[in-house]
Amino acid sequence: MAFSTTTDEVMAGIDLTGRVAVVTGATTGLGLETARALAAGGAEVVICGRTAKKCEAAAAAISETVGTAKLSSAVFDLADLPSVRAGAASIVQAHPAIHLLINNAGVMFTPEGRTAQGFETQFGTNHLGHFVLTNHLLGALRGGAPSRVVNLSSAGHHSGQIRWDDLHFESEPYDKFEAYGQSKTANILFSVELDRRLAGSGVRANAVHPGMIVTDLARHMTTDDLAELQRRAAARAASGAGPGLPEFKSVQQGAATSVWAAVSAEMADVGGVYCADAEIAEAADYATDADYAARLWALSEQLVDESFPG
């Protein structure tokens, strides 16, 4: 597999008949393409989105190209934890066994804001929303074992470590790039600790970097933001602290790594790793540190006021 690998290339020869896949953020962009590819492979796909209207439109779009698609939907908002819990309950009621969970949804470079529970928007949505959702689906994932969890991260994790003493930018000025980086680092650390906790259960968890793609995710970006992103990436690359900005991918190429991590035979017994370009890749040390991963899990439980033994 390589940079230019597409979802259809990954899915060649893969039969997902009888398997259930849950995809968050499946109404647009990478999530929609991921849902389409899995449905084309025979999986029953649960399209997760914030409104019924968006879910219905996504299902219609997939059905146009995949006439045999088996689709259902779950409506909830990752930025509101009671909504997440209710959404998870509805999924489990309909699907007591889940085989694939693709935590694809996210926000990027948002203006300073807070989720319904008062968390910084990017950390609260990208990490805590998926943290709660995944844990509420674990029984069904165990019921569907062997099963896999795929958490979408980003090379953007290089722009932000976990701000242990100031997660929500209450003490220091808000930095949208650092906030995004923190949330993407959290996605990787969550994958590391989740996979550790699920050892021997038949459920594996990994994180993926889809690449740089023009989708609705970038709706908050301005021309100045792109210039600043390029400046920061160049500075990191020059100092050896991270990669520069990669070339752009198509949506089909961008979703390929998520699909690969979810269905490839190579990843059948692999967990707790970071993937890019449809292969295992290297993340920043702080994003895969086992002690940090355990610390983030404990902190996340405290923040969401819920205990998850894993």
Question: Residues with catalytic annotation?
Answer: 180
Chain Cα centroid distance, residue 215: 15
E strand or H helix at 287, and its extent?
helix 285-288
Can you tell me the distance from the alpha carbon of 286 to that of 182, in angstroms, rounded to the nearest whole number?
Answer: 11
Pull the structure tokens for residue 3: 């940079």
Q: At what angle do helices 290-304 and 176-197 cross, to 10 degrees?
A: 100
Which DSSP letter does residue 111 get?
P
- Phi/psi at 36 (5° precision): -60, -45
Q: Is residue 186 a contact partner of residue 296, using CB atoms and an 8 Å limit?
A: yes
Cis upstream peptide for 210 (omega within 30°): no
Can you tell me the distance from the alpha carbon of 148 to that of 202, in angstroms, rounded to the nearest whole number?
Answer: 8
Can you tell me the distance from the alpha carbon of 309 to that of 148, in angstroms, rounded to the nearest whole number?
Answer: 18
Can you tell me the distance from the alpha carbon of 68 to that of 86, in angstroms, rounded to the nearest whole number?
Answer: 29
Between the two ends of the chain, the Cα-to-Cα distance in Å is: 32
Can you tell me the distance from the alpha carbon of 260 to that of 155, in angstroms, rounded to the nearest whole number?
Answer: 18
Pull the structure tokens for residue 78: 């990752």
Q: Is residue 195 a contact partner of residue 206, using CB atoms and an 8 Å limit?
A: yes
Can you tell me the distance from the alpha carbon of 161 to that of 159, in angstroms, rounded to the nearest whole number?
Answer: 7
Can you tell me the distance from the alpha carbon of 114 to that of 270, in angstroms, rounded to the nearest whole number?
Answer: 35
